[in-house]
Amino acid sequence: MWHKRIHYPPISHEKRNGTINRKRTKRDIIVIGASAGGVPVLQRIFAEFPAHLAAAVGVVLHRSSEASGLLSVLSRRAALPVMEPDHPMTLKQGTIYLAPADHHLLFRRGSVDIYRGPREHSSRPSVNVLFRSAAEAYGRRVVGLLLTGCGEDGVSGLISITAAGGLTLAQDPAEAYMPYMPLNAIRYDDVAGVISLDGAAQTLYSLAHGDDVSVKVMAGS
């Protein structure tokens, strides 16, 4: 079967230094999305989070619909507890919530929940669902980060975060195993910053504590 070629708008790969979160808002709701190549990236970020992170972290990684050992793999070197919710629970700071297989993860006001709704971009769990729910519940407190992967899942969720006053970040496509998700985030959401894995955990930590941080921004943005 022939597939129609998608023509993306052009994008500059030139980056410059910039400062974000100048108003020093505490971004203590962190949501992260990843797909192909995401496991080692998430392992590194989880390992570099400080144990006293004053934020709740939600993570969607595109995965098989079958139960797997992903939770164990991502927990192995994590400085914070990593949980796969199987029922509604209180949302707590200092905890990482991983979307379980074949279920969407939602951040609600004061709680975290899962549901087996329709797929988005052929994905369940979907990054968009988590990002949109966080934006609706927490507004300016949210920082969203889109990591390595194919396709556009997460882009409309980042747009929702931006519209609600939150901050959006993308992994530097030049270092991503699959650059298409972060590239699409930069194209369509005009993310606040482009970050390298070196220092990604520290950037999120600083934003959670209300600091301004220096990041790379795309030239012309």
- Least Cα distance to 105 among 83, 76, 122 occurs for 83
For residue 174, give Cα distances in angstroms to 16, 17, 134, 196, 209: 14, 16, 28, 9, 28
Catalytic residue among 62, 156, 172, 189: 62
- Catalytic, 153? Answer yes
- Catalytic, 3? Answer no
- Least Cα distance to 60 among 89, 28, 76, 38 occurs for 38
Catalytic residue among 28, 75, 153, 156: 153
Catalytic residue among 28, 35, 156, 189: 35
3-class SS of residue 17: strand
* Contact (Cβ atoms closer than 8 angstroms) between residue 184 and residue 209: no
Dihedral sign (CA 176, 41, 107, 30): negative
- Catalytic, 102? Answer no
Buried b (16+ CB within 10 A) or exposed e, 3-36: eeeeeeeeeeeebeeeebbeeebebbbbbbbbbb
* Contact (Cβ atoms closer than 8 angstroms) between residue 167 and residue 143: yes
Dihedral sign (CA 162, 168, 172, 177): negative
Residues tagged active-site: 35, 62, 153
